[in-house]
Amino acid sequence: KRQDGSASAAPAGGTEYLVSTSVGGESLNLDFDTGSADLWVFSSSLSSASKKGHDIYTASKSPTYQALSGYTWSITYADGSGASGKVGTDTVTIGGTSVTGQAVELATKVSSTFVSDAADGLVGLAFSSINTVQPVQQQTFFDNAQPSLNSPLFAAYLPYNADGAYDFGFIDSSKYSGSINYATVNSGNGFWEFASNSYQVGGSTFSQSGNTGIADTGTTLVLMIDDAVSNYYASVSGASNSATYGGYIFPCSTSLPSLSVDIGGNYATIPGSLLNFQSIDGTNCFGGLQSVGGGTQNIYGDVFFNAYYGIFDASVPQFGFAAL
Ligand SMILES: O=C(NNC1=NCCC1)c1ccc(Br)cc1
């Protein structure tokens, strides 16, 4: 089918990737988030202070906008950020893929995190079962696009500090090396979630039986259960869990071990070089592996995708990964 296509994802600060998206002919830079299912945009209804530094969607300027009268949305993300507003439909085009009648959620309120972030909104690519629109839940861009794609899948290519891409409807063999491993996805919580029963630090293997992992391009870091994080940093000389910085820091001169995580029965290995997230003060650095803060769901965010091409396949559903 002819709607397959690839959209370029520009790095905005190393591990945030923004995709130029057309909504009713208006161009916005949106953050693609496989950990949520709402497509929302900064709108002309926001306060001037909230709009500062952002491209804005103005429904009245779009010839194809249709209001959904009385519909609302409100979302709070795991990091505490959030947004809310009203709803309409419009034509949304991403790379070569166009969807008419896509639910577009217009923000009338956004949290401070989003005002200071580069994104002009989010494209939710998790399962539509967790879309927050009321009174009638809406479908994601991917769910609406599926019938016009060759295959019901999309793939995330997010190399560190380099141009990335989201491919819709096809797997791009030029974007990875070696073979693809697949994990069966349990979409019961609305996420691309799979079994993740163990991990390896350097040469040691640790069990985390019964735990799961979530492939989440909307989360910057790799977030794992406390045991895993303390086992990892136990082998990093000079590492400490800083209350000041809200996570593990270590001397930037330290060489970091690799981290391998079980994804549906196969290991994905993140090299130590990708686990130094950023320098704090020239001496100490903040780790790309941090605590998820509780529960049994590990979150494999952008730092994971800096090492692996991720394939989100709705046909099973399954999550595939292949080394970049
Ligand atoms: O909110 C989540 N992902 N997306 C985003 N985070 C911040 C802005 C967007 C998220 C989803 C599931 C789990 Br479990 C943890 C986190």
Query: Residue 251's pLDDT is what?
Result: 98
pLDDT band at 9 (very low <50, low <70, confident <90, very high): very high
Distance CA 158, CA 114 (A): 21
CA 186, CA 317: separation in Å to the nearest integer? 8
The one catalytic residue in 38, 117, 167, 216 is 216
Among 219, 221, 222, which is best to mutate for testing ligand 1, by the most ligand atoms less than 8 A from CB?
219
Has 33 been annotated as catalytic? yes
Start-to-end Cα distance in the chain: 27
CA 153 to ligand 1 center in whole angstroms: 20
Express as a percent the part of the chain with pLDDT over 90.
Answer: 96
d(CA 212, CA 224): 10
Q: Rounded to the nearest whole angstrom, what is the distance from the C-alpha of residue 148 to the centroid of ligand 1? A: 28
Please give the Cα distance from 91 to 102 (Å, whole number). Answer: 6
Number of the ligand 1 atom closest to the C-alpha atom of 301 = 3
Residue 13: per-residue pLDDT? 66
Active site residue 262: no
Question: Given pLDDT bands bounded at 50, 70 and 90, which one contains residue 2?
Answer: confident
Quick: pLDDT tens for 271-323.
999 999 999 999 999 999 999 999 999 999 999 999 999 999 999 999 999 99
d(CA 303, CA 160): 8
Cβ neighbours of residue 9 closer than 8 Å, sequence gap 6 or more: 17, 18, 19, 32, 156, 157, 158, 163, 164, 165, 166
Q: pLDDT value at position 15?
A: 58
Average pLDDT over residues 226-251: 97
- DSSP for residue 138: -
Cis before 317 (ω within 30) = yes
At residue 92's C-alpha, the angle toward residues 308 and 97, to 5°, is 55
Give residue-wise pLDDT tens across range 199-231.
999 889 999 999 999 999 999 999 999 999 999
Atom of ligand 1 nearest to the CA of 219: 6
CA 34 to ligand 1 center in whole angstroms: 8
Residues 26-38 have a mean pLDDT of: 98
For ligand 1, the distance from its centroid to the CA atom of residue 139, given in whole angstroms, is: 18
- Residue 14: pLDDT over 60: no
Residues lining ligand 1, judged by CB closer than 6 Å?
Answer: 33, 35-36, 77-79, 81, 191, 214, 216, 218-219, 297, 299
Q: For the segment 152-195, what is each residue's pLDDT rounded down to a tens digit?
A: 999 999 999 999 999 999 999 999 999 999 999 999 999 999 99
Which tokens sit at 197? 């029963």
* Average pLDDT value for the chain: 96
Cβ atoms of 264 and 300 within 8 Å: the answer is no
C-alpha distances in Å from residue 84, one per residue of 37, 51, 161: 14, 14, 31
Q: Is the pLDDT of residue 39 over 60?
A: yes
The DSSP secondary structure of 87-109, one letter per residue, reads EEEEEEEETTEEEEEEEEEEEEE
Q: Report the DSSP pairing between strands 121-124 and 297-300.
A: unpaired
